[in-house]
Amino acid sequence: MRLTRRIAIGTGLAAALPLAGHAAQPLAGRQAPSFFRSKIGDFEVTAINDGLAQRPLDGFIKNAPIEEVRKVLGDAFMAQDKITIPFTSVVVNTGSKLILLDSGNGDLGAPTTGSWMANFRAAGFDPDKVDAVLISHFHGDHINGTRLKDGKAVFPNAEIMVSAPEWDFWMDDGKMAQAPEGMKPAFQNVRRVFAPMAKDVKRFDWGKEIVSGITAVAAPGHTPGHTVFAVQSGNARFLMMSDLTNNTAVFVRKPDWQAIVDMDGEVARQSRHRMLDLAASEKMQVAFYHAPFPATGHILRDGAGAYQLVPALWQPLG
């Protein structure tokens, strides 16, 4: 009873109380600079957000009834008529090298994206000082940040490093010729980004340390060369899961569900299980490119074959 009265006061009555007049403050309509730091051993890892985009829910998940998908989205308090896809890449500062894991949408994403560079600078970084950009796979939301619409290279002093199987697939003219019409723009975009620097792009193999402290881990399915990055400093380990899921609220809870954007849904499903199981067993901090900000945390088992992403909290950085 008392609670009911308190709610009434807190809503209807309080709203009716006259307030002293001030000039109206316009609604801001934007977030504060969105970056978030974690300490991994001696490294500092910074998540840099690039906004989000939404796609129609209908048809996005190939092997589950839409009502079940809506229920999972509702349980996570997310929009139930669309799939929400946030974008967050990661900067690893090893103390001697500045390494970027994927690059954001640049100036070619949805209107609700494009905050990446402002957030990167707000975090104290300078694009001229990036030593290497490691690319998880060749979808536009991961590579367009390296080259703007007008052709300008965004990280002029960085080595661009990509997985060999990803390069071999997308740069193959035969594969482009055979691809369905709907996929041809993705092939053309890969050429737009990489052709001007093709001879300088370094190709890495899975299972190898590609720069100090960072190893490329095979996680194909989303694309043929899709890569997870394992970061290690001392005993501390961190996994950048890249596009192991396109929405953690859905695919961490339901790793068997397959997204229309996974080129080989079954292989992607196997990679997802393997990496989620590893992260949960080893209690490693993880980040996902498409997770609610800060897009980093830990994986907790949640019943048979299901998991949860527990967001990272602020931690001492000194």
Handedness of CA 13, 14, 17, 23 (dihedral sign): negative
Measured between alpha carbons, how far is 57 from 14 in angstroms, rounded to an integer? 39
- Name the token pair of 219: 């996680």
Nearer to Zn ion, 213 or 225 (CB): 225
Contact residue for Zn ion among 138, 243, 253, 271 (CB under 5 A): 243
- Shortest distance in whole angstroms from residue 181 CB to Zn ion: 21
Least distance (Å) from Zn ion to the CB of residue 141?
A: 5
- Of the pair 43, 257, the CB lying nearest Zn ion is at 257
Nearest CB to Zn ion, comparing residues 34 and 232:
34
Closer CB to Zn ion, 43 or 87, in the complex: 87
Q: What is the largest CA-CA distance in the chain?
A: 73
Segment lying near Zn ion (by CB under 5 A), choices 29-37, 131-139, 164-172, 292-300: 131-139
Among 40, 106, 108, 141, binds Zn ion (CB under 5 A): 141
- Minimal distance, residue 269 CB to Zn ion, in Å: 17
3-state secondary structure of 231: strand
d(CA 112, CA 148): 17
User: Closest CB to Zn ion among 52 and 73?
Assistant: 52
Measured from the CB of residue 133, what is the shortest distance to Zn ion in angstroms?
15
Collect all residues with Cβ–Cβ distance below 8 Å to 312 and sequence separation of at least 6.
Answer: 36, 38, 285, 294, 296, 297, 298
- Pairing of the two strands 214-218 and 209-211: antiparallel
Length of the chain: 318
Q: Is 102 in the site for Zn ion (CB under 5 A)?
A: no
Interacting residues with Zn ion (CB under 5 A): 139, 141, 243
